[in-house]
């Protein structure tokens, strides 16, 4: 399996130039900024999918379980 893949997208020329200038102003490579944007988007998507999968009840149960484990590990008990 390859370590990288190419992604070809079509963007308005003015937007590309504005993006190039913004990246240059922050001393960042365009490809690096795009990779970070894609990683953050995928991370947010995965997190929202987990919330949908487990729902409110799952989050409440996890909170209760974490609180229980925290209390049982307390040196005062």
Cα separation, 16 vs 76, whole angstroms = 60
Tens of pLDDT, residues 17-38:
999 999 999 999 999 999 999 9
Taking alpha carbons only, the member of 45, 46, 44, 47 closest to residue 59 is: 47
- Whether 20 and 30 have beta carbons less than 8 Å apart is answered as yes
Tens of pLDDT, residues 9-18:
999 999 999 9
- Whether 23 and 29 have beta carbons less than 8 Å apart is answered as yes
- The pTM (predicted TM-score) of the whole model is 0.62
Which range has the worst mean pLDDT, 6-10, 45-49, 60-64? Answer: 60-64
């Amino acid at each position: 399996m390859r370590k990288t893949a190419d992604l070809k997208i079509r963007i308005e020329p003015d937007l590309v130039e504005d993006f190039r200038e913004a990246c240059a102003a922050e001393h960042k490579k365009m490809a690096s900024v795009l990779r970070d944007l894609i990683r953050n988007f995928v991370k947010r998507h995965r997190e929202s999918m987990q919330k949908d999968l487990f729902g409110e009840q799952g989050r409440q149960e996890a909170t209760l379980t974490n609180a229980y484990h925290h209390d049982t590990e307390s040196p005062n008990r």
